[in-house]
Amino acid sequence: QVQLVESGGGLVKPGGSLRLSCAASGFTVSDYYMTWIRQAPGKGLEWVSYISPSGKTVLYADSVKGRFTISRDNVKNSLHLQMSSLRVEDTAVFYCARGDDSDAFEIWGLGTMVTVSS
């Protein structure tokens, strides 16, 4: 069964760090484009970052560039998002998702909530 399960969310103070994980089952993450997309409470979707199957292409939204790092663990078949210098406005549900290309994502996880607050 093709599935994505996010973990690692929680409450963190402004300026702090957090590492999100996304465990994949039923497929190999290195065969697909993998992305992180977030949704602030009551707000719309915002693309955060994606990594290509080869791993050579990694892109970030301007709002997180220099603070977030996407990575992949091919042995554990998982995707990660290292977040640092967190801001209150980073508070959101973070989803990981899979796509055949970098423009559309068909398989989504249930999301993990990140709350940045003092």
Partner 1 sequence: QSALTQPASVSGSPGQSITISCTGTSSDVGALHFVSWYQQHPGKAPKLMIFEVSHRPSGVSNRFSGSKSGNTASLTISGLQAEDEADYYCSSYTTSSTLLFGGGTKLTVL
The residue ranges that bind partner 1 (CB under 8 A) are: 35, 37, 44-47, 50, 57, 59, 61-62, 95, 101-106, 108-111
- Compute the least distance from the CB of residue 67 to partner 1, in Å: 16
3-class SS of residue 77:
coil
Q: Which two tokens stand for residue 118?
A: 């003092």
Residue (14 or 110) nearer to partner 1, CB: 110
- Compute the least distance from the CB of residue 69 to partner 1, in Å: 16
Residue (42 or 118) nearer to partner 1, CB: 42
Question: Which residue in the block uniquely carries the two structure tokens 């990575």?
Answer: 71
The Cα–Cα gap between 70 and 81 comes to: 5
- Compute the least distance from the CB of residue 52 to partner 1, in Å: 10
Cα dist from 110 to 4, 84, 93, whole Å: 8, 23, 9
The Cα–Cα gap between 50 and 36 comes to: 6
Q: Which amino acid is at 52?
A: S
Residue (11 or 104) nearer to partner 1, CB: 104
Residue (27 or 118) nearer to partner 1, CB: 27
Report DSSP state, residue 9.
-
- Compute the least distance from the CB of residue 41 to partner 1, in Å: 12
